[in-house]
Amino acid sequence: MELIENYFGDFTPRQLEQFRALEGLYTDWNSKINVISRKDIDQLYSNHVLHSLAIAAAFTFPPGSKIIDIGTGGGFPGIPLAIFFPEVEFLLADSINKKLKVVAGVADEIGLKNVVTRHTRVEDIKDRKFDYVVSRAVAPLGDLWRWSKPLLAKRPSDGEHPASGLICLKGGDLAAEISASGVRPKIMEVFDLFPEENFREKYLLYVHK
């Protein structure tokens, strides 16, 4: 948790309480439903929470905006972002229901009122539009963009907040994946935001609508 506070110094007492509760909650849930690898659970704040918050370090979202986290898994990046942006609405979607049980349990325990979950394939969401789509290591960029486009409302940039689009966290050599995607994302290195060794060759990609 100290690692998070090293990079973000303006949390409210409520946010600090919520972030601090994550370790115990995920450790407990993970013993029942494995959503984080056993070796990774000891590095929850570094490998999962801070990694998710790279999006918050690079972008700010307007109050009242709507964000969908597709393939949320155990709730990353959605849960940390929902704590960070309490006035933004989040839908955390996944096709595996037992993972969403963990997500809903964690959100309920820490009193997150701006999170709902949905058990679905992203292609089957037809009833809602979102200002932003976020995702972490779920699918190739081309697939993510194909799924995202029908979900995105048209919100232009106002100078402070980004235009509606897809924001995803990825790692490794992305040249072939980006080339095959047919889109030209803005690429940011997570290591430039958080100079920690485990963030080398990890990237933040943004494609606006």
Instruction: Cite the annotated binding site for S-adenosyl-L-methionine by residue number.
Output: 71, 76, 122-123, 136
Task: Look at strands 186-189 and 202-208 and give their pairing.
Answer: antiparallel
CA distance 180 to 169: 17
Report the 3 state secondary structure along 44-87.
HHHHHHHHHCHHHHHCCCCCCCEEEEECCCCCCCHHHHHHHCCC
Binding residues are 71, 76, 122-123, 136
